[in-house]
Amino acid sequence: SSKIRNMEVQSADGIAVLEDCIGFSLTKTISKVEEKLKKGVLPDCQDDDIFPRAGNEMGTEAQIRFLKAKLRVTQEDLANVVFECRKKDDENQNLETRLKDTEDENTRLQRTISLQQSQTEKYKILSQEANKKTEELQQEVTALEKVL
């Protein structure tokens, strides 16, 4: 995600070109393709589905314009995908933060529950002891009343 965030949009011949830090240059790639087209060396893959059927009858300049337009659309799609990726990355960061907070809260509540359970057990034992002592004192009172 840091590479995506470090991408810069630059303009070359009226075309938005995304260049990342790896060294890949879309401008260089386009230049190479344009040079090959100017020399008359067309790609061997005729069924690559880049040009429409009428594309074979287009002139070189028309093919270049078509490819540049297709490149612009592809770059817009890429920009949209990058934007969505950033958005999803931010959403993931928020969700991870919320998850961590929830886990911390869960841990805190588990400790509180454990503490309260131990206190409940302690008070049950104290209550049982108090009840025994009350019964003993009640028996002693009854015995003293008989003596009196």
For residue 132, give Cα distances in angstroms to 7, 124, 127, 141, 144. 78, 12, 9, 14, 18
Query: Can you tell me the mean pLDDT for 124-147?
Result: 96
pLDDT at 12 over 60: no
pLDDT number for residue 11: 39
Residue 116 — very low, low, confident or very high, per pLDDT cuts 50/70/90? very high
pLDDT number for residue 41: 67
Nearest to 64 by CA among 13, 20, 18, 17: 13
Query: Can you tell me the mean pLDDT for 61-76?
Result: 90
Alpha carbon distance 100, 84 (integer Å): 24
Domains of the chain: which residue ranges? 26-147
Nearest to 120 by CA among 134, 107, 112, 108: 112
Count how many residues are written for the chain: 148
pLDDT at 72 over 90: yes
Tell whether pTM > 0.85: no
pLDDT at 17 over 50: no
Residue 3 — very low, low, confident or very high, per pLDDT cuts 50/70/90? very low
pLDDT at 133 over 50: yes
Residue type, 68: K
